[in-house]
Amino acid sequence: MSANNAPQPVKLSLPLEYQQHLFQELRAEDELVVVAKGLGLMRLVTNLLHSYDAAGNNLIIVVGVEGRENAWIGEALAESAAISMAPKARGLTVVNTDFTSVAAREKMYAKGGIYSITSRILVVDLLTGLLNPETITGVILLHADKVIATSLEAFILRVYRQKNKNGFLKALSDNPDPFTIGFSPLATMMRNLFLRKASLWPRFHVTVASSLEGKKKAEVIELEVPMTDAMRDIQTAIMECVEVSIHELKKGNSGLEMDDWNLDSALLKNFDIMVRRQLDPNWHRVSWKTKQIVSDLTVLRGLLHSVLALDCVSFLQHLDTIHAAHSPQPGTTRQSQSPWLFLDAAHTIFETAKRRVYNANTKANAKSSIDSLRPVLEEQPKWELLAEILEEIDRALYFEPPMRDDSNGTILIMCSDEATTRQLRDYLQTMHVEPKTEEETKQKKKKEEHKPSAKFMMRRRLRGYLNWKREFAQVSNALFSENQKALEGAVDPRIAQGGYKGRAPANKRRRVRGGGTTGAAPGRNTNGTVAQYFEKPDEVADLMEEVQITTEEEANQKADIIADPLEDMDDYFELYEMQDLVVVHAYDGDQDEHILEEVKPRYIIMYEPDAAFIRRIEVYRSSHNDRNVRVYFMFYGGSVEEQRYLATVRREKDAFTKLIKERASMSVVMTVDSHGVEDPQEAFLRTVNTRIAGGGRLAATAQPPRVVVDVREFRSSLPSLLHGRNMVIVPCMLTVGDYILSPTICIERKSISDLISSFKDGRLFSQAETMFQHYKNPMLLIEFDQNKSFTLEPFADLSGNLKSVNPNEVPSDLQSKIVLLTLAFPRLRVIWSSSPYQTAEIFEGLKTQQEEPDPVVAVRAGLDKDAKAEDQAFNLEPHEMLGVVPGVTPRNLKNLTLETENVREVANMSVPELEPLIGREAARMVHGFFGRNLIDIDD
């Protein structure tokens, strides 16, 4: 199939009908394409880029590419160029750091080709004219769903469209969810992207469905695995805790829109983020309890996943750490604990989790009535099924050898994360190893059939857990020794009666926190929370004896690593045959497509459900006539896992349905389309200032207002908003200030987090000092986030001094630091802005009646009088690092950077070596800073 508009035929790898339709559509016109996850968006992108690359005379910019996607696109373009034998193809050039010098970038752009450029470099290059927008053939934007009005990508597209009316612009996304949030979201997104046409390709699209549901369908075997009773009990209890937490949230925050705060939406991935986002504007007014519940929801939802994913020992260990983290500090009262720990359901979670690992049974022959613990070690139901599937595959391969085809006989097991892949690897390695104990050896002879089991692995994990718990108990004891002392010195009659006769040593016996007694309630502290259980030493001894390492297990343990000369390599090492391989891999977005293509598996076991991966298999199978695939699809019946999977599929379908409806009735707003040139009369009126009261003069300047901006400021959305208000942005490397509005006005912009760190290291005082040296009206702009509360209260406890929380101490929080700053610099103006939008408005107001700034003068401010600006190009990061070292000032920093090669050299210099560069006192401070011992810091 030849590509449209291309001068020569280009070989494309788009085997499916819907892929070909999409490609032709994208070649023909500018549009936004939204595809369902898993339908192979990256393949479409690489083929599209290849069709332009083969033509050879294009300059194409790819925007919004994430880290490893650059490698995929580069590899695919190189491969396609080799297959098409296109002489003019040059492949992908990645421009992603400041290491590429300005001159080198200018030459590269002049040559043309396909460039993947990070947004921050691209926007500066476009504004400085290093890359002339008119020379660009077209822009391809990936991850269009992440573009919002204030993002850098929207800024880039605006600059591009203002100067270049003819170049193409194509935006692609495989996530429909963000396009459905808010009022007329699709129309807003189209406005931000300067596009008029949207093309939607859900899984239920006719062409997609017919492409994937033809004769070449994969054989799918769906396996519903029942959960064990203990797992079901724990899941129900966690759900109850989640439900109670949501109910408490609703009760405490009645003023918010809470229609979707329910158990169903709590299963979705981003529920806690959604709740936090709604509470953010009033976060400073929210009660302590609400804040606690919001963080608890994250923990509880994590537990819902853990109970299915982790084995019983790891789950119990996870619960222990959660319990320790949620226990109050010594001497605190009940109020500081998580509300869910007071519920009966919490008791059920902890008790059932313990019962899955070990059980107590009284010894018949024992003299004492001490319970001895015996291991239960409940296995995950999916493990047994996995072993059965692998056995079935082996049988099938032996009795019915498949016909030769293009796929390898590899078995691919896919699961949700790295931890699960490690767990499965351990299980598959040890499922046929039998742990031997005396009783079992006798019974073994009677057994005829050996079944694969995880006993060996679980016993090994239990040993690890018990050793960990012993250390954990000691650490815990040290942390809570204050409580212990309080207990021993207590005059409480219940404790004084001597209920602890013949007790175990302090670090071994079960402790009770909160200064209460053991008899409060089984498994509960006196304040009503679940108590943490610490096994008695003799119980642990019995249990350890039970799961001790046998000789066979010792033999199976890994030998010490020794140096291998690799001389007789061929005798010992060989490549595995592909049909003998079992590959365990975690779901990894678009990477999965590459795994399928490279491994070419015949059998795929989906250990956990994932909608996007199912589609990838469909695409893979439909794309290859001669690769047969059998898929085993496992999920826990009636579990959160199943609900989450179904909810994801349903949400995506609803999102596409919403988009299709909106597209049908959408009106494209023409006024923001930057294809139109600004009306000259409007341009004149904009430059005329009508405020001529009080002896002012009528100012009519033909040139639009100009702002000099420091290049490091392009991480924020403010330059984009200023540009949107028809100001000319001049990016420069500024030494003094962040924004220069006029020859006299210099502004240092600080976000709240930046302000806190600037006060901590004293940087702000030196910045204010240098601003006063060079400008008549320096200003400090404190800018808040538009979605958060416009107040300093929530940040009081972030300001680096915990005493500020205590009312008895002198508060050293932000407000008082700002007061100190204004006392030190009485002429410093402070601007408070609730959002970048308001800042842009303030800047516009400040610029009226002012002359335009000179970029050359702005760059020279703070530099040496004699030196040229371009000669002062230092590597920024080390320069800034040295700048915050005690004793280094802007003046002596230049000497250091000129005389030394790198930061390491400065760190290793002695005081006499530093003295001629920066003076004795400063040298002593710098040397002391680098020579300080990190561990023995005396505050």
pLDDT tens-digit readout, 648-682: 898 899 999 999 998 888 776 544 444 444 455 54
Neighbour-count burial for 770-804, b at 16+ CB within 10 Å, e otherwise: bbeebbebbbbbbbbeeebbeebebbbeebebeeb
The answer to whether 122 and 61 are in contact (CB under 8 A) is yes
- Residue 57 token pair: 């005379």
Residue carrying the six token digits 């010894």: 363
The answer to whether 777 and 829 are in contact (CB under 8 A) is yes
Radius of gyration of the CA atoms of the chain, in A: 34
CA–CA separation, 878 and 319 (whole Å): 43
For residue 646, pLDDT beyond 70: yes
What is the average pLDDT across 702-719? 86
* Polymer length in residues for the chain: 939
Of the listed ranges 117-121, 195-199, 582-586, 676-680, the one predicted with least confidence? 676-680
For residue 514, pLDDT beyond 60: no
What would the 3-class secondary structure string for 326-347 be? HCCCCCCCHHHCCHHHHCHHHH
CA–CA separation, 470 and 808 (whole Å): 40
Cα dist from 843 to 713, 724, 835, whole Å: 15, 13, 13
Query: pLDDT tens, 719-732?
Result: 999 988 888 999 98
Q: Global pTM?
A: 0.77
| Residue closest to 521 by CA, chosen among 530, 532, 511, 513 | 530
For residue 696, pLDDT beyond 50: no
| Residue closest to 716 by CA, chosen among 875, 837, 883, 846 | 837
Residue 271 contacts by C-beta under 8 Å, 6 or more apart in sequence? 265, 297, 301
The answer to whether 719 and 729 are in contact (CB under 8 A) is yes
What residues pair up with 60 in beta bridges, in sequence order? 114, 138
CA–CA separation, 275 and 245 (whole Å): 12
Neighbour-count burial for 293-307, b at 16+ CB within 10 Å, e otherwise: bbebbebbbebbbbb
For residue 580, pLDDT beyond 90: no
Of the listed ranges 183-187, 491-495, 668-672, 901-905, the one predicted with least confidence? 491-495
pLDDT confidence of residue 698? 46
Q: Which of 102-116, 129-143, 572-586, 854-868 has the highest average model confidence (pLDDT)?
A: 129-143
Amino acid at 182: G
DSSP code, position 580: G
pLDDT confidence of residue 139? 94
CA–CA separation, 678 and 672 (whole Å): 11
pLDDT confidence of residue 517? 32
Cα atoms in the Cβ-side hemisphere of radius 13 Å centred on 109: 23
CA–CA separation, 899 and 909 (whole Å): 12
Of the listed ranges 406-415, 453-462, 867-876, the one predicted with least confidence? 867-876
What would the 3-class secondary structure string for 154-191 be? HHHHHHHHHHCCCCEEEEEECCCHHHHCCCCHHHHHHH
The answer to whether 719 and 749 are in contact (CB under 8 A) is no
Helices (H) and strands (E) in the chain, counts: 38, 22
Distance of CA 637 to the CA centre of its chain: 30
- Residue 238 token pair: 């966690």
